[in-house]
Amino acid sequence: MGTFDIDKDLESLVLSAEQIAEKVAEAADWLDKKFAFTHDTPLAVCVLKGSVFFFCDVVRAMKTPVQVDFMSVTSYGNSSESSGELEIIMDLTASVAGRSVILIEDIVDSGNTLSKIKDMILKRGARSFTVVTLLDKPSRRKLPIKADLSCCEVGDEFIVGYGLDYAQKYRDLPYIGILKREIYEKNSR
């Protein structure tokens, strides 16, 4: 296979499109096995916006029928550090009471989003809560929470692409890479 040029604002590649496809297949297979004997139709939840590409790829790769729902939350305000508070911008439309809920995330960083969403969904009466994340940054964790399946551990680097953004840019890249320091340092001056 030939090489290709990554976006000029990236210093290196973390996951190529092909490697992401392997992670998608792995996550879908893991979920299919886990839900093989479930009688209800699980509700797959996507937290906008970062997860949308991984979410769509995983639910389409699964053999298990699922229903899908979306929510939008914010916990970061204007800074890059989590404030710890989670504000629901757009809630799920489905009721989760008595259902198996699968959260499909792009990244678990401080763990704040996952922890708050898990509490909320269990408080609403979900029968079970399972979380699969494409990326995991354990070195940044502030809360003792883990995904049930983490497809790829990454270091404390500024990564973008395949849903992950910097100032809303780079989400549309089909691969994930490390953003050049000069790009985000120039804008924080």
Q: Which of 25-33, 62-70, 88-96, 111-119 is the region at the interface with ligand PRP (rule: CB under 6 A)? A: 111-119
- Closer to ligand PRP by CB, 32 or 153: give it: 153
Closest CA to 110 of 66, 80, 89: 80
Nearest approach, Cβ of residue 126 and ligand PRP (Å):
18
The two structure tokens encoding residue 42? 């699980």
Q: Within positions 155 to 174, which residues make up the interface with ligand PRP, using CB under 6 A? A: 165
Q: Which residues contact 56 (CB under 8 A, 6 or more apart)?
A: 46
Q: How far apart are the first and last CA of the chain?
A: 41
Q: Which of 21-29, 87-95, 100-108, 177-185 is the region at the interface with ligand PRP (rule: CB under 6 A)? A: 100-108
Nearest approach, Cβ of residue 176 and ligand PRP (Å):
13
User: Is the separation of the CB atoms in 179 and 160 below 8 Å?
Assistant: yes
Beta strands in the chain (DSSP E): 10-15, 43-48, 67-74, 87-90, 100-108, 128-136, 149-153, 159-160, 176-179
Question: Which residue among 46, 96, 103, 106 contacts ligand PRP (CB under 6 A)?
Answer: 106
User: Given the rule CB under 6 A, which residues bind ligand PRP?
Assistant: 47-51, 75-76, 82, 105-114, 165
Catalytic residue set: 109
